[in-house]
Amino acid sequence: MKKYVIGMDLGGSSCKLGIFTDQGELLASWKVATKKREDSSAILGNIADSLKVQLRKMGIDHEEVLGAGMGIPGVVRKNGNSCTCVNLGWIDKNVKTEMERYLNLPVAILNDANAAALGELWAGSGKGVSSLVLFTLGTGVGGGIILNGEPVSGAFGAGGEVGHLTVSSEEKNVCGCGRYGCLEQYVSATGIVHTMKKRIQSDKGKGKGFCEKEYTAKDVFDAARDKDPTALEVVEFTGEMLGKAMANISSIVDPELYLIGGGVSEAGDILLNSVTKYFYQHVLSMSSDARVRLASLGNEAGIYGAARSVLTNG
Amino acid sequence: MKKYVIGMDLGGSSCKLGIFTDQGELLASWKVATKKREDSSAILGNIADSLKVQLRKMGIDHEEVLGAGMGIPGVVRKNGNSCTCVNLGWIDKNVKTEMERYLNLPVAILNDANAAALGELWAGSGKGVSSLVLFTLGTGVGGGIILNGEPVSGAFGAGGEVGHLTVSSEEKNVCGCGRYGCLEQYVSATGIVHTMKKRIQSDKGKGKGFCEKEYTAKDVFDAARDKDPTALEVVEFTGEMLGKAMANISSIVDPELYLIGGGVSEAGDILLNSVTKYFYQHVLSMSSDARVRLASLGNEAGIYGAARSVLTNG
């Protein structure tokens, strides 16, 4: 009998779904639009219906499916029996039991960033290691930590909230979390643009071409590749903030591998080289064999990891 | 048949030993002097001999002993098959296999600070929780992290090296690890005295009674209790450094409980209150149910945890 696992990655406007073999091969993936906030309790039912249709289409029997995993954009407590997703209007919702009823399968619920980290470990840049820390650099900064092959979800669901490490005591702007000086304020796409704007304001005459128009983090990296001195400084600063944060994480959980993912990571080597330089400068010598790489699964990391969470360790 | 476990806590000049029931009751504890550096390979044999004598004295059969755990003051890799303790002259020594040969029992090797954390979880202030972070504030700062009931040793043996979190970018003095601005430089006994000296130098006329003589961290806490303004500032600063570091650790591993142990923790509530204030000010709101307490097993935490490490989880 063949064995399959299902991975789901729930977002604010859609849910990605994937059907995998238990060896990590992705056989099919698609998206289901999620209804608006007021219909939030119907979201899970729609997803389940779509899954059943797809399984039937592929000729997969219910008995061949080991279970389903779902990454959700919020706080998961009590193994998924209490989920809070502000964007979906869920407060303390029992997603696990509800989804198990719809699917008649064992369901594992985990935070979406932890799912992405687990996915990279199973089938991406983290294949072959048993511990890693993933930074997802997007509009904000998400993160996931895997130790001994399992995500660190934390006693209160804050495990792997590496975007909210306090890295500066001098920040005047407030972070989305209500605190000041979070890593997210510097190494997210938004943070990188903000750093660039500040540098241009303080360095009159530099950063030419940036003063007049709106720009993105990608523009900053492109300008750095073209040797724009202000943009080069911003890339250095971004690498320093992230590299130093990684060095501190090594003194806590000491992973084998760091992965950089999310839209910002498309900058590639120019970012990776800067981060790596500061990481090795600052990490405790005993952890200097840790490696830093780019993540490889992109937006699919979440469904991979959700599917992987169904399987027991090993 | 009764079941026993053995705990050993190896230090630079002696090894503490304990015989426990598998329920965590300490039946006997004693010390064995460890030989000088040049005899380092004989240390383990002497300890094993002492253990056998004690077991015979107590009428415990070899079959009744489930195994032995040993905390060592150094880096443990490969489950104890590679141990490096600079103070004992051990580089990449296979302590596990050697000790198993001497004792003819399964032996678990772990870092001594991780052992102390596990001991507090089993039988001390951490009883009943499944995750905690212990700070051992002594001449230096050690630490241990327990998640899901198991120590986080790290891929390279640096798991729980919380004393070497970089917490200041302005430090001019070098830490023992070769880096600058480590937590240990502020919240160890040495660090607290150093902070006091710096404050007295910069605040002429304050800190009376401190200028003339050598003093200890205990003297600083005693003076703070007597409302010495400089000493009160130092206690605030110490609490701020430790409380903020804890807040950052919550964004990584998010434990249920923080414990403060080691000689400095004998300061008691004046220290705990200061740390707690800054921790709750800075921690991510989702982790604000985490608690902060004093450790309770003192110097015996290590033998408790070493013994506990023999038992499988649960």
B180: nearest CA partner in chain A: A282
**What is the per-residue pLDDT for B314?**
43
A251, A278, A292: best to mutate for the B interface, most B CBs within 10 A = A251
Does B119 contact A at CB distance below 8 Å?
Answer: no
pLDDT one-digit tens code per residue, A168-190:
999 999 999 999 999 999 999 99
Residue A300: pLDDT over 80 = yes
Q: Give B245's contacts in chain A (Cβ within 8 Å).
A: none
Q: What does the angle CA B273 – CA B276 – CA B278 come to, to the nearest 5 degrees?
A: 110
Q: Is A145 on the interface with B (CB under 8 A)?
A: yes
Contact A7, A17 (CB under 8 A): yes
**pLDDT value of residue B87:** 79
pLDDT above 70: residue B238: yes
Mean pLDDT of A82-99: 89
Whether the predicted pLDDT of B77 surpasses 90: no
What gap in Å lies between CA A189 and CA A184, rounded to an integer?
Answer: 9
Output the average pLDDT for chain A.
Answer: 93
| B136 has pLDDT over 90 | yes
**Best residue of A254, A288, A313 to probe chain B, by most B CBs closer than 10 Å:** A254
Tokens standing for residue A77: 């407590």
CA distance B279 to B57: 48
Q: What is the largest CA-CA distance in chain A?
A: 68
Residue A37 pLDDT greater than 70, yes or no: no
Mean pLDDT value across residues A22-46: 85
Confidence class for position A224, pLDDT limits 50, 70, 90: very high
Taking residues A62-87, report their average pLDDT: 90
The whole-angstrom distance between A162's CA and the closest CA on chain B is 6
Residue A240 corresponds to which amino acid? E
CB contact under 8 A, A154 and B179: no
From CA B14, how far away is CA A16, in angstroms rounded? 59
User: B43-47, B62-66, B115-119, B201-205 — which is least confidently predicted?
Assistant: B201-205
Please report which confidence band the pLDDT of residue B295 belongs to, taking 50, 70 and 90 as the band edges.
very high
Contact in structure between B278 and B244 (CB atoms under 8 Å): yes
Residue A205 scores a pLDDT above 60: no
Q: In what order do the strands lie in the sheet with A82-85?
A: A75-77, A82-85, A90-93
Q: What is the pLDDT of residues B242-259, one digit of tens each?
A: 999 999 999 999 999 999
pLDDT: which is higher, B76 or A247: A247
Q: Which chain A residues are within 8 Å of B75, Cβ to Cβ?
A: 286
Pick from A156, A179, A253: CB nearest B252: A253
* Pairing verdict, β B257-261 and B132-137: parallel
pLDDT top residue among B210 and B217: B217
Q: Which of A158, A145, A159, A137 is nearest to A298 (CA)?
A: A137
Residue A31 backbone phi and psi in degrees, to 5 = -125, 150
Cβ contacts (< 8 Å) between B290 and chain A: which residues?
A: 155-156
- Confidence grade of residue A314 (pLDDT, cut at 50, 70, 90): very low
Report whether pLDDT(B37) > 60.
no
Question: Which residues in chain B have their CB less than 8 angstroms from residue A131's CB?
Answer: 154-155
Global pTM value: 0.94
A256 contact residues in B (CB cutoff 8 A): 155
- From A165, A189, A168, select the one nearest A177 (Cα to Cα): A165
* pLDDT at residue A206, rounded to an integer: 59
Q: Give the separation between CA A263 and CA A195, rounded to whole angstroms.
A: 17
* Cβ atoms B241, B274 nearer than 8 A: no
Token pair of A107 as six digits: 């369901």
What is the reported pLDDT for B40? 65
Structure tokens at B18: 């304990």
Prediction ipTM score: 0.93
Instruction: Tell me the mean pLDDT in the region B154-163.
Output: 95
Residue A286 contacts residue B158 (beta carbons within 8 Å): yes
SS (H, E, C) chain A: CCCEEEEEEECCCEEEEEEEECCCCEEEEEEEECCCHHHHHHHHHHHHHHHHHHHHHCCCCHHHEEEEEEEECCEEEHHHCEEEEHHHCEEEECHHHHHHHHHCCCEEEEEHHHHHHHHHHHHCCCCCCCCEEEEEECCCEEEEEEECCEECCCCCCCCCCHHHCECCCCCCCECCCCCECECHHHHCHHHHHHHHHHHHHHCCCCCCCCCCCCCCHHHHHHHHHCCCHHHHHHHHHHHHHHHHHHHHHHCCCCCCEEEEECHHHHHCHHHHHHHHHHHHHHCCHHHCCCEEEECCCHHHHHHHHHHHCCCCCC
Q: Are A306 and A110 in contact (CB under 8 A)?
A: yes
| More reliable by pLDDT, A85 or B64 | B64
Query: Cβ contacts (< 8 Å) between B154 and chain A: which residues?
Result: 131, 250, 253-255, 287
Chain B stretch 263-302, residues whose beta carbon is closer than 8 A to a beta carbon of chain A: 282, 284-287, 289-290
8 Å CB contact between B276 and B258: no
Instruction: Give the whole-number percent of chain A exceeding pLDDT 70.
Output: 94
What is the Cα–Cα distance from A310 to A305, expressed in whole angstroms? 9
* Residue A253 sits at the chain B interface (C-beta within 8 Å): yes
Compute the distance between CA of residue B161 and CA of residue B296 in angstroms, rounded to an integer: 21
What is the structure's pLDDT at A130? 96
Query: Pairing state of beta strands B14-21 and A257-261?
Result: unpaired
CB contact under 8 A, A147 and B152: yes
Of residues A147, A158, A282, nearest to B251 (C-beta): A158
Q: Residue B61 to residues B26, B31, B53, B57: CA-CA distances in angstroms?
A: 17, 21, 12, 10
A151 and B CB contact within 8 Å: no
